[in-house]
Structure 1
Amino acid sequence: MKPEIMTTEVLGYPAVGLRSEAAELMMVPQLGGRVISLKNRKSNREWLWHQDRPDWLWANKAGDNFGLSPQAGIDECIPSVASCNFKGRQIPDHGEVWYQAWDLDIKALDQGMLTSTLELQISPLKFSRTIRLMDEHTFLFDYVLENKGFEEEPFIWCIHPLKNIYEGDRLLLPEEVNSLRLDGGIGVLIARGDVWKYPEPFSGTRLDLCQVPGTGNELCVKGFAGPLQHGWAAIENQHTGDRLDLYWDPKLVPYLGLWINRGLGGFHHVALEPCTGIPDSLTIAAEKWKEIKTIQGGEQLGWSLKIVVR
């Protein structure tokens, strides 16, 4: 379908977006290709979280702490989510692309596609993402990764979509997901690799209701499901009926990360994170857990993610 193309400025940064009668999406190429808004135009629900402050967007540079970035909306993480040293390269926290300005393809924009590309500064990789509207409710994210080097490169790709939490929100995961392999958390004692039952690891604590066990005001947890047979996850509000679905090919993207934050940094948000490798550290994924994708020298790989706003 032919979408309405939006161009504007948000807090001084050029932003571009796509809109149908039912949904709209807005991104800022200059700020790591960050998607800052994903809205249901019928109910007016904004799915993406940002900090509750007037200056909630700003630019970052290489070496900046991700925790001091805007963290607003959707970031892309590649080739690692956690900071690590891999092949003698110091990979930043949340990867190499969130702090870079992306090159927006103006010709593709005229055709209703948000296509952006950038070359990573540390790893020999080139990353491209195209967003288009498939129908009034569905955004398709197409990804292409190219290895510009000569050697095989292990990598983790993970989409990092921080979503608002409203009363009545419930996470919906495939029936095959009955446990999570943990990577970390705050408020409860966790060792990397521990396994929790899903959705109720402890009596009275429901992860699917965005609850986190433990004590204190800064509770959070990160865990993984997979490898999966079904590439699907959703959030549905039991009061309003608002729903957000994610669909992907589990042969290409075998895992789902779940991040729930109930107070860390004073923030409350949840993220369903399809990913190609686990845990968050590329070094641990490649050398210890052996749960990783690789790309050969000179090769290109592609995968897709559908996001449905209903």
Structure 2
Amino acid sequence: MYNPKIFNTKVAGFDAVGIQSRAVELLMVPKLGGRVVSLRNIKSGREWLWHQDRPDWLWPNEAGDSFGISPQAGIDECIPSVAGCFFRKNQIPDHGEVWYQSWQIDSDALSHNVLKSTVNLPITNMSFSRAIRMTEENSLLFEYSLENHNTTEEPFIWSLHPLKNIIEGDIIELPREVTFMRLDGGLGVPISRGDIWSYPEPFPGIRLDVCQVPGEIDERCVKGFAGPLTSGWATIRNTVTGDRLELRWDANFAPYLGLWINRGLSGFHHVALEPCTGIPDSLFIAAEEWKTVKTIQGGEKLEWSLQIVIS
């Protein structure tokens, strides 16, 4: 038997709520967009989530801020768009509507060892909730809901945005069906939105699965997408330590996987595996050009989940 517990603590001066078993610990800061700032393998000591190497690495943001001036730490939720865009008479902020807001914690759920919180989307008139619970001592279930308070159908993109540390020996493992990436942008080599790269080796000697990015400049990065997928899983495994993090989700609901690799942009080095419902990052382009977007009917409530397994 495992006995998960909820606890309160401080992280970089902010109130945080944690959930912990004998094997895994997760910390979330409700005030900062429900940001998950730590995901740690207690047995091996590996911290999976990235943050800037400075003492004041967390701070609040406001509506209209560029995500680039945010802490960019850990796991954010992006909805109804990842990139800022103008869509249906609305200016959707960069990274969506929920990452800069304070989320409301459900105290009753806390008493049942569940980190549940909700937040409203004031621009698109929807509400979003996420509950995090442990299903095994090394497994966390993220349960989501999105409710449309409009009378009309609303297109949206949901994307998990988990920035992870890159450590020597890390290797990305994806379903065998992933043989190419459709690009959204990057730095290092000339890239146009929609370009196709072979996966995992788009250029001789350059392997995306070991977090390599082509180019000669120091600020190299790339964002691409796999899918539509029939298998919803993605893993980072360390070939030296054996540490492993796996994401599992329903590919019928979120048929795409974003891959972000940053090797030096802003001096940062991190990687993100991003299950998502539509591509590319802009809701406008996904809905109007690529035609790869999910919709929610007026008055409808959608529910979905994602599992993170640490071993």
2:231 equivalent to 1:254: no
Cα deviation, residue 6, structure 1: 1.6
The residue number in structure 2 matching 1:181 is 182
Deviation at 1:110, TM superposition (A): 1.0
Segments of structure 1 that go 5 or more residues without pairing to the other structure are none
Q: Does 1:267 find its partner at 2:262?
A: no
* Partner residue, 1:21: 22
- C-alpha separation between the residues in 2 aligned to 1:232 and 1:11? 32
Partner residue, 1:280: 281
Match of 2:100 in 1: 99
1:1-310 counterparts in 2 under 5 A? Answer: 2-310=3-311
Give the AA of the match of 1:130.
A
- Aligned amino acid, residue 249 of structure 1: D
| RMSD of Structure 2 on Structure 1 (CA) | 0.6
SS in 1 for 2:165: coil
- Structure 2 residue matching 1:208: 3-state secondary structure: helix
User: How many pairs align?
Assistant: 310
Distance 1:2 1:258 in 2: 34
The answer to whether the 8 Å contact 1:2/1:112 transfers is no
Q: TM-score, normalised by structure 2?
A: 0.99
Q: Shift of residue 121 of structure 1? A: 1.8
CA contact (8 A) 2:64 2:94 kept: no
Q: CA deviation at 1:11?
A: 2.1
Partner of 2:145, secondary structure, is strand
Give identity over the alignment, percent.
67
Name the CA distance, whole Å, in 1 between partners of 2:241 and 2:248: 22
| C-alpha contact 1:60 1:69 (8 A) present in aligned 2 | yes
The runs of 5 or more residues in structure 2 that have no matched partner are none
Amino acid in the other structure paired with 2:296: I
In the aligned structure 1, how far is the partner of 2:265 from the partner of 2:12?
A: 25
TM-score, normalisation: structure 1: 0.99
Per-residue deviation, 1:228: 0.3
How far apart, CA to CA, are the structure 1 residues paired with 2:194 and 2:73? 28
CA distance in 2, matches of 1:6, 1:257: 32
C-alpha separation in 2, matches of 1:246 and 1:263? 25
Deviation at 1:215, TM superposition (A): 1.5
Q: Distance in 2 between matches of 1:63 and 1:193?
A: 27
Runs of 4+ aligned residues of structure 1 deviating over 3 Å after TM superposition are: none
